[in-house]
Amino acid sequence: MLTGLGLLLLLGYIGGKMASKVKLPPLIGMLFVGVLIGPYMLNWLDSDLLLVSQDIRTFALIIILLRAGLGIKKEQIKEVGMIALKISSIPCLIEGFTVTGLAYYLLDFSFAEAGMLGFIIAAVSPAVVVPSMLDLKEKRLGEEKQVPTLLLAGTSIDDVFAITLFTFFLGLGTEAMESSLLLDIARIPLSIIGGVVIGGMLALFAVYIFKLIHKKYIEKLVLLLGATILFVEWGDALGIASLLGVMIIGFLLLEKIPAQSKEFSFALGGLWVFLQILLFALVGAEVNIAVALDSGFIGLGIIFIGLLARSIGVWIATMNSELNTKERLFCMIAYTPKATVQAAIGAVPLALGFEQGATILAIAVLSIIVTAPLGALAIYASAPKLLKQG
């Protein structure tokens, strides 16, 4: 396994630098390195490493979301609060039900299978969007109207809607599972509230503990990371929006202990240099290009029509806001990448024996191949043109 880690870090770093040389985001190079050395091409990665791939990617997401929370101030949250709620729900729902309809009529899926595909595809990728938005915040692009903060908040809630509705359709198609649409929809606000409340309580407890112990900030950060990892693991089991809760932890720490929070953010920034290579390379390693090609042009068409529906949803969600046309267009672009959720749950219907499980997986993988690199490239290319420098 150590050999695989070494290869991922070395080749991922080189891939990121090569992408930067040709004016592409480094994550694109890292993604393609993962595809190249992954099990579906050169197969240079040890099977033990692939078994813990999901856990490594989750840890990397915890780091980047905690770092995101440590960079958000109370005034920024107040400014984007209502728009963030709309942009996290409306685009996801419109895209999900659009893809559901297309799969039902064009691919002859059952209603349950079509819904599963719809909300696997509908989830936007925090693995791509969150690091990109943090980069833009550091460059102070869009800071005047808090566009990166809006998208940071919206992305984590977007996945709550997508995964909850995917779970509903999964239950609808599994005789052993009883599922209620009203009950599953009711879980969405409960999941969000649970993530916010428990994350907030954990943050306040951490502040109290940090005042009692006189340790260096690195030791406090170790305690914080340990508690946050357990929070995410147990939170997922309880069905709360734990990744959103991670951002809340960072947000409250910045509010209550700003000096220490800046030290935490600096340390996490150094850790992210290492973890981002693992995150994007391991996402790439999940991609089976042969499976993706099986979905053909129909699968590609469904993905692009879904993205068009999502863009319409973003346009609707940002109506009557302070954002101008260019900023709204950037939000549409920033909400296109798929990767994290698709890699995590794309194979679930196949594993459970659904008739169209292989096709669902193929389209999910194709959505990663198409939207992750193109979406990341579009974000970095369009930001200087569409967002004002703060």
pLDDT, residue 179, reads 54
* Domain contains 43: no
* Domain contains 36: no
Determine the 3-state secondary structure of 100 from DSSP: helix
* Domain contains 223: yes
Residues of the domain holding 163: 55-386
pLDDT, residue 176, reads 47
CA distance 80 to 92: 18
Query: Tens digit of pLDDT per residue, the chain (390 long)?
Result: 888 899 999 999 999 899 888 877 788 888 889 989 989 899 999 888 888 888 888 898 899 889 888 988 877 777 777 888 899 899 999 999 999 999 999 998 999 999 999 999 999 988 889 999 999 998 999 988 889 999 998 887 888 889 888 988 888 887 545 556 667 667 778 888 898 899 999 999 999 999 888 767 888 999 999 999 999 999 878 878 888 899 899 999 999 999 899 999 999 988 988 888 998 888 888 788 887 787 778 999 999 999 999 999 999 999 988 999 999 999 999 999 998 788 878 888 988 889 898 899 889 989 988 999 999 999 999 999 999 987
* Domain contains 366: yes
Reported for 52-60, long-range contacts at CB under 8 A and 24+ positions apart, including other chains, are 52/1, 53/282, 53/285, 53/286, 54/344, 56/278, 56/279, 56/282, 57/127, 57/278, 57/279, 57/282, 57/283, 57/340, 57/343, 58/232, 59/229, 59/275, 60/127, 60/272, 60/275, 60/276, 60/278, 60/279
* Domain contains 381: yes
Question: Domain holding 285: CATH number?
Answer: 1.20.1530.20
* Domain contains 19: no
Cα R_g (the chain), whole angstroms: 20
* Domain contains 68: yes
Please count the structural domains in the chain.
Answer: 1
pTM attached to this predicted model: 0.84
* Domain contains 234: yes
pLDDT, residue 121, reads 96
